Amino acid sequence: MNDVTLEDGPKLRLERRYSHPIERVWRAITDPEELQHWFPGTLEVTESDEPRLLAGTWYDDELRFELTPDGDGCVLVFTHAFDERAKSARDAAGWDACFERFDALLAGEPMDESESLRTWPAKHERYAERFGVDPELGRKAFAEHPTQE
């Protein structure tokens, strides 16, 4: 399991190694057709250095995707910087679900959003406890999510 961690800032951080070439992973984070399979919303790109760095704003927060070649694959470091620590568990569980879909896309077996959210509540509770934040914000957001209607 590749958990999302919380760093000072606050900033969420996820690091994963992929057996795919850096160019393949870059395509998954930049190609609109591939993004629709896993990324929630739109990233307003502020910095791009193909195929190593993609940074931008997402709902007023800062996201960074940093890729480093590693043998025949690559390492992806994703960070999400934001202002409100209270939303850390909600967003960590959300990114966990998004990267589950990202991994499925790279494996050639795209996953739909509702499938990726199946384990969201348990992950959210675990993140809320680990990060020491009130889980109510995330519980409410999940209950109001369109896949729950």
Query: Residue 53 forms beta bridges with which residues?
Result: 49, 66
Token couple for 133: 């934040």
CA–CA dist 26, 9 (Å, integer): 26
Helix axes 120-131, 136-143, angle to 10 degrees: 160
CA 106 and chain centroid, separation: 14
pLDDT tens digits, 28-64: 999 999 999 999 999 999 999 999 999 999 999 999 9
Are 18 and 105 in contact by the 8 Å Cβ rule? The answer is no
pLDDT digits (tens, 9 = 90+) for 84-107: 999 999 999 999 999 999 999 999
Q: Provide the residue range defining the domain that includes 19.
A: 5-148
CATH number at residue 73: 3.30.530.20
pLDDT confidence tier of residue 148, bands split at 50, 70 and 90 = low
Total number of domains in the chain: 1
pLDDT score of 81 more than 60: yes
Distance in angstroms (rounded) separating the CA atoms of residues 110 and 101: 7
